[in-house]
Structure 1
Amino acid sequence: MNSSNYDHLVRMQVFDFLGELADRYGDVLPLDPLRQGINFHGHRVPLLGPQGIFKPKILDLPISITTAPNSPYDDSFTEDNLVRYRYRGTDPHHRDNVGLRALMMERKPLVYFHGIVPGRYVATWPAFVVGDDPKGLAVTIAVDDRAALSEHVVLGAYDDDANSRRRYVTAAVKVRLHQRLFRERVLAAYRDQCALCRLRHTSLLEAAHITPDSSPDGEPVVKNGVSLCKLHHAAFDQNILGIRPDYVVEIRKDILEEIDGPMLRFGLQQMHGQKIIIPRRADFRPDKIALEGRYQAFREA
């Protein structure tokens, strides 16, 4: 088997494995199975390593790049919907940086892991190195549609339609990453529980914006979020419940007077007058100015 076919088979197995993990865990993947990786003909192939650019032993070129949570590197989305990914170190000729350039020349795909919180990553693939800036110590990355990942693309064939499609897909990845970042960081700040009812099933928890994300001030930052279960998030969005700037919950008057089953009584009415739990870190606690604005909207509704 020549090296090109060998490389191709490893990458395809890695991509299939990531698809299986995504089916099991959703968009945000735990670290352990990524470290364990795949078994390829008796060889263990981890998917990421301690450094941002990772090449497993059995391959000649990197299989993944990683942005760690709170990374000091300036990995960011550009105005034309691509990703600028920093070199390792300051030497353009470091073997990891040379490996990225080789991926670009051979048009081989890799995986881009974006750290959300420690131990949890969003994986996007196939990602391609589409530009190189040795003076700026960075490469440019574009994410492609998985449906376009045919065998001839993995083997490095040119794709006439790739550029515009990759910009569109990378823009969608940017939105998805911001959503996942917001959710995971808000839930972590609230210790993976609903701020009202203390429900701890993370699959039923969501990050509610205080100032809506449709507003210019609705930044996806922890202090503009509250961890809520699906019921209380919906009630918050529909102005059935409000949260005062002193963190006390109010339930709308007509809902308090309504007579219904136990869900209404225990899930909403008994929340009236209770204080929400708040993050331990002061800078993660709900912004009181944002809460005041949202509370006034609740009162008006």
Structure 2
Amino acid sequence: MSDSYMEDAFSARLRAAAMDWLRLRCTDEDPVVRRGELLGFHFEGERIPLVDPNRGIRKPKYMTAALSILTTYTAPGKRPPYDDKPGSDGLLRYKYRGRDDKQADNVALRVAHERKLPLIWFYGVAPGLYLPRFPAWLIAEEKDQFQFAVALDEAQLSIPVGSQASVAQRRYAERLTRQRLHQPVFRAQVLRAYEGSCAICNLRHASLLDAAHIMRDSHPEGIPAVSNGLALCKIHHAAYDKNFLGIRPDYTVEIREDLLDEEDGPMLRHGLQEMDGIALKIPKLRQDRPSIAAIMSRYEEFKKSA
């Protein structure tokens, strides 16, 4: 293998160990990691933080290529410090630090790109709380726009960067980006807002919970924002999607009338029928509470389906 595709043995071990640790640390029950944990990472007897205390690009002193990149959490309604959004090809971008392509952090990103090394992307879902996405690869540098194109999946590595991507390739890239980043981030933020429990039945096993859209994902207003989300267990998520249950504008759960008269078994009785008329659990922070406009629109859909 060419030297341009390699890094020294210590750096390669560190990169692999960091990803192995994250695979074990971030589970279905607890997929996010705290900043203190990342700063306290130890490798071969030495503390080697996986993120930089003050910057978004992390290159430990032992390495020539970047190890991780970070996107800071931005509160609803606030403008993010960097605009790491998809390009016309559907691939995400990660901005330079500043605009000098010779700045040390940007050089570290370029080395990772040239050597085709995998990175860890820490995406902020709350202050000091990150969802790690890895491996990620920098697959093109766009110096005129002070950024790198990022692949979050091996399938994205073969997608042409920029205007050469076809409509089908762009849509494919966008779908993979939703699956690998946007949907997991949305889920992590919604479950955190609802304190890791179903808003209807209070089930607290995170691996059995989903982030349900109020306005459907396919709707123009079905944005992946906490105010358009509900933490629901899988049975209540499915029931909500199929309009077996609805949520009134006063946050009261309503079960479809024909289901209330059915006799089927304990799941129907305890899982759905007994939920009729209960108050929906809502987040403590006002900014995280379900949008009344979205709830009303979705409730109208539920009533029409009855």
What TM-score results when the alignment is normalised by the length of structure 2?
0.79
Matched residues in 1 for 2:253 and 2:283: separation?
A: 16
Given that 2:72 and 2:123 are in contact with CA atoms closer than 8 Å, whether structure 1 keeps it comes out as yes
Do residues 100 (structure 1) and 109 (structure 2) align?
yes
Do residues 48 (structure 1) and 51 (structure 2) align?
yes
Given that 2:198 and 2:233 are in contact with CA atoms closer than 8 Å, whether structure 1 keeps it comes out as yes
State the 1:34 CA deviation. Answer: 4.0
Matched residues in 2 for 1:202 and 1:291: separation?
A: 24
The match for 1:121 among 111, 126, 131 is 131
SS in 2 for 1:47: coil
Partner deviation per Cα, 1:96-144 (whole Å, 9 max, x = no partner): 12222233334433222222334231322141252141x5433333345
State the 1:255 CA deviation. Answer: 1.8
Given that 1:143 and 1:170 are in contact with CA atoms closer than 8 Å, whether structure 2 keeps it comes out as no
Given that 1:145 and 1:165 are in contact with CA atoms closer than 8 Å, whether structure 2 keeps it comes out as no
Residues 254 and 141 (structure 1), Cα distance of their counterparts in 2 relative to 1, 3 Å cut: closer
Match of 1:4 in 2: 7
Question: Counterpart of 1:123 in structure 2: which amino acid?
Answer: R
Residues 54 and 254 (structure 1), Cα distance of their counterparts in 2 relative to 1, 3 Å cut: same
State the 1:174 CA deviation. Answer: 1.5
Do residues 195 (structure 1) and 190 (structure 2) align?
no
Matched residues in 1 for 2:135 and 2:73: separation?
A: 19
The match for 1:130 among 126, 140, 143 is 140
Matched residues in 2 for 1:253 and 1:228: separation?
A: 21
Residues 105 and 207 (structure 1), Cα distance of their counterparts in 2 relative to 1, 3 Å cut: closer
Given that 2:159 and 2:173 are in contact with CA atoms closer than 8 Å, whether structure 1 keeps it comes out as no
Match of 1:140 in 2: 149
State the 1:171 CA deviation. Answer: 3.8
State the 1:274 CA deviation. Answer: 1.9
The match for 1:174 among 172, 177, 202 is 177
Do residues 72 (structure 1) and 81 (structure 2) align?
yes
Matched residues in 2 for 1:141 and 1:267: separation?
A: 43
Matched residues in 1 for 2:285 and 2:37: separation?
A: 30
Question: Counterpart of 1:5 in structure 2: which amino acid?
Answer: D
Matched residues in 1 for 2:304 and 2:28: separation?
A: 40
Matched residues in 1 for 2:152 and 2:63: separation?
A: 21
Listed as ranges, the gaps of 5+ residues in structure 1 are 147-160
Residues 43 and 268 (structure 1), Cα distance of their counterparts in 2 relative to 1, 3 Å cut: same
Identity of aligned residues (%): 40
The match for 1:89 among 70, 94, 98 is 98
Question: Counterpart of 1:4 in structure 2: which amino acid?
Answer: E
Question: Counterpart of 1:138 in structure 2: which amino acid?
Answer: Q
Structure 1 range deviating more: 188-197 or 104-113? 104-113
State the 1:44 CA deviation. Answer: 4.2
State the 1:17 CA deviation. Answer: 4.0
Matched residues in 1 for 2:188 and 2:114: separation?
A: 36
Do residues 239 (structure 1) and 243 (structure 2) align?
yes
Question: How many residues in Structure 1 have an aligned counterpart in Structure 2?
Answer: 283
Do residues 282 (structure 1) and 292 (structure 2) align?
no
SS in 2 for 1:128: strand
Given that 1:34 and 1:46 are in contact with CA atoms closer than 8 Å, whether structure 2 keeps it comes out as yes
Do residues 164 (structure 1) and 150 (structure 2) align?
no
Given that 2:122 and 2:130 are in contact with CA atoms closer than 8 Å, whether structure 1 keeps it comes out as no
